[in-house]
């Protein structure tokens, strides 16, 4: 049998053309399309691909057979032949039929954005849990596309798109893959159970949990290293780290909390990947506080923040107490002076500034443990005295004539929800309010 010209041998590098489709009805801005293509190129380079050419095709709608249209396919075939490419990477997810048609027409290995992300995760997984999660996501992606990716999977050692189960599942049928998916889900359920026991143990010991979330390459791992000396691999690349890392963080008052770095998010994050990593991402659901780390130097930071919010909503964690941490302000000429969030729960920091890290630790302490406030309550107001005990931890109390003075450690979110009636009785306003208190 004649060997296909695009088959590759073990160790041969992927030489790729990168393709994106801009559908006019989606009304994406030119900047958004450009950023997505640049991100795809960065993903490809993270996977060890040599990107030779990139292009954007604009159409009114997706071509169901050729995705980008027959004319564009013919154009790309000539470009790929001229440059010596052996792979085409598409910025959107393809159907099995589209993969099959494009592979035949272009005589190239066809990879879509989802498959590329899964391949990077396969490279970066270091723990048993990581391997299980990646394999589950890959097989869930592969199952409905077996007919379209058959040729891809036949290239042993063929680089992106063939790592992980792709090499070992070439001849397996759908039933075999479904059985393997079932086994992986059972194994991950055991991981989930073990993780839940660890969380329960921490809660019983009164340990607060803080989760780092953010768009990939926002600097979460660097921040974890600087706050806790974790020694986690951190590099200026997408998905530099995959497996979650938990370390102890000491706050300014000496109390210790648990800080967990989660996998970075990205736009169009594959649903199979979110599902496979749900046991890991549930650390976010169980956290007492979420630190949303933002790359303040990115031109697309607003869109990246939206992506993180979308994933948190999918996880059911959008209502968690949160601090938005605008990182990398050292890369901005004005230090990010205009970076604010609507709720005011934000900090501007550089992970390499000790002063900024101290400010972040103080903010974490304030949100988790609260500030000490003083209240001067009329002794006859049992309802307010009861409320004081509900909104915080009473550290001291002292009878002062017809009043009782309380020193209370209060979390701001709890005080905002329950403490409105107490505000007139704050000690620093007591003199002004004294004439009104007996009437209340």
Entry pTM:
0.71
Q: What domains are there in the chain, each with its CATH number?
A: 15-168 (3.40.50.11060), 207-368 (3.40.50.300), 371-437 (3.30.70.240)
Residues 193-215 pLDDT 10s: 887 787 777 666 668 889 999 88
Is there a contact between 365 and 345 (Cβ–Cβ < 8 Å)? no
Mean of the pLDDT values across residues 418-426?
A: 67
Residues 250-299 pLDDT 10s: 998 888 898 988 877 887 776 667 766 666 677 788 888 999 999 998 88
pLDDT band at residue 439 under the 50/70/90 scheme: very low
Q: What pLDDT is attached to residue 192?
A: 79
Name the more confident of 132 and 439.
132
Residues with Cβ within 8 Å of 425's Cβ and at least 6 positions away in sequence, in order, are 375, 376, 377, 384, 433, 437
Q: What pLDDT is attached to residue 157?
A: 46
Is there a contact between 162 and 153 (Cβ–Cβ < 8 Å)? yes
Measure the CA–CA gap between 150 and 252, rounded to whole angstroms: 57
Measure the CA–CA gap between 87 and 110, rounded to whole angstroms: 6
Is there a contact between 406 and 422 (Cβ–Cβ < 8 Å)? no
DSSP string, 226-269: HHH-------SSTTS--S-EEEEEE-TTS-EEEEEE-PPB-TT-
Q: What pLDDT is attached to residue 145?
A: 75
CB atoms within 10 A of CB 393: 13
Backbone angles phi, psi at 315, to 5 degrees: -85, -10
Q: Percent of the chain, pLDDT > 90?
A: 23
CA neighbor of 263 nearest in space, from 117, 159, 62? 117
Residues with Cβ within 8 Å of 416's Cβ and at least 6 positions away in sequence, in order, are none
Structure tokens at 205: 């010991």
Mean of the pLDDT values across residues 24-52?
A: 87
């Amino acid at each position: 049998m004649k060997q296909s010209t695009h088959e590759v041998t073990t160790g041969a590098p992927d030489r790729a053309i990168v393709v994106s489709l801009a559908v006019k009805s989606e009304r994406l801005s030119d900047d958004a399309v450009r950023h997505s293509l640049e991100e795809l190129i960065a993903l490809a380079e993270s996977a060890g691909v040599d990107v030779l050419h990139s292009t954007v095709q604009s159409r009114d709608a997706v071509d169901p057979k050729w995705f980008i249209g027959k004319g564009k396919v013919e154009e790309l075939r000539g470009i790929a032949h001229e440059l010596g490419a052996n792979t085409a990477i598409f910025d959107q997810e393809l159907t099995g039929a589209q993969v099959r048609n494009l592979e035949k027409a272009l005589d190239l290995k066809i990879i879509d954005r989802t498959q590329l992300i899964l391949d990077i995760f396969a490279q970066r997984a270091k723990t048993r849990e990581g391997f299980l999660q990646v394999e589950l996501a890959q097989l869930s992606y592969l199952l409905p596309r077996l007919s379209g990716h058959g040729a891809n999977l036949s290239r042993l050692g063929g680089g992106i798109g063939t790592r992980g189960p792709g090499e070992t599942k070439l001849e397996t049928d759908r039933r075999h893959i479904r059985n393997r998916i079932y086994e992986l889900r059972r194994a991950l359920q055991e991981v989930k159970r073990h993780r839940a026991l660890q969380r329960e143990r921490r809660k019983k010991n009164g340990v607060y949990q803080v989760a780092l979330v953010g768009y990939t390459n926002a600097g979460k791992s660097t921040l974890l290293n600087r706050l806790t000396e974790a020694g986690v691999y951190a590099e200026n690349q997408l998905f530099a780290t995959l497996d979650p890392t938990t370390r102890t963080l000491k706050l300014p008052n000496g109390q210790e909390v648990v800080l967990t770095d989660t996998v970075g998010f990205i736009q169009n994050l594959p649903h199979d990947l979110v599902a496979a990593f749900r046991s890991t991402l549930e650390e976010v659901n169980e956290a007492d506080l979420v630190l949303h780390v933002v790359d303040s130097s990115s031109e697309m930071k607003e869109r990246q923040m939206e992506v993180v919010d979308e994933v948190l909503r999918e996880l059911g964690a959008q209502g968690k107490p949160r601090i938005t941490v605008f990182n990398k302000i050292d890369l901005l000429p004005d230090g990010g002076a205009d970076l604010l969030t609507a709720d005011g729960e934000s900090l501007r920091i550089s992970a390499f500034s000790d002063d900024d890290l101290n400010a972040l630790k103080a903010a974490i302490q304030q949100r988790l443990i609260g500030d000490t406030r003083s209240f001067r309550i009329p002794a006859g107001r049992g309802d307010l005295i009861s409320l004081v005990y509900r909104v915080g931890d009473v550290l001291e109390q002292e009878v002062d004539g017809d009043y009782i003075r309380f020193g209370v450690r209060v979390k701001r979110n709890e005080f905002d929800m329950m403490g409105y009636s107490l505000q007139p009785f704050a000690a620093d306003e007591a003199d002004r309010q004294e004439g009104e208190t007996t009437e209340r």
